[in-house]
A and B are shown apart, each in its own frame.
Chain A
């Protein structure tokens, strides 16, 4: 099936690290993506990882990929209140040339 699963909610304090998890289904995906959605806005591409990588770091963001378990995570270091948003992971459905999005994780950062 095409279920990309994420936990619905994560709450952290400002300055802590946040880890958002995702499990995907399509082992043939070449790229996996993380998007951020602020209230009432469209999705903003945050980062992506190529399937032959285990880790990718981009400033405060670290993406970890475990292909064996089909598990993807996004770590945000030194989380700020401006990071409060919904975060979506997405896998490629290579057969139909489209992305399949997870349900989204709502991150709430408190001061």
Chain B
């Protein structure tokens, strides 16, 4: 059963703590993406990676970091430098050269 998994579905953290969100895909896709979604708003691109060991900043990369050590995995770390980290985070992937993206179920992060 191919797809994208994100874990956990809900995550709670105290302010000042770093937290890492997991994203794994078994679709053999080269490209992976992280988006942030706030209530009533669209998706904003945080980081994306077209190939292993390479990634680019999206529109709102400040306060976030990523790594792409394996093709299947693209974890996102929300650092304490991110001013408003509470949001719904979505991971997606696509084939090389294709723009059609497939999404995971999302992780809702709440920071208090």
Q: Which residues of A contact B (CB under 8 A)?
A: 8, 30-31, 33, 35, 40-45, 48, 88, 92, 96-99, 101-104
Contacts and interface: CB of A to CB of B under 8 A. Distances in A.
A45 B43 contact: no
Interface of B: 4, 6, 31, 33, 35, 40-43, 45, 48, 50, 56, 58, 90, 92, 99-106, 108
Given A42-B105, A42-B106, A43-B90, A102 B42 contact: yes
B99 A31 contact: yes
Contacts of A48: 100
A33 B103 contact: no
B105 A41 contact: yes
Nearest to A106: B40
Nearest to A35: B103
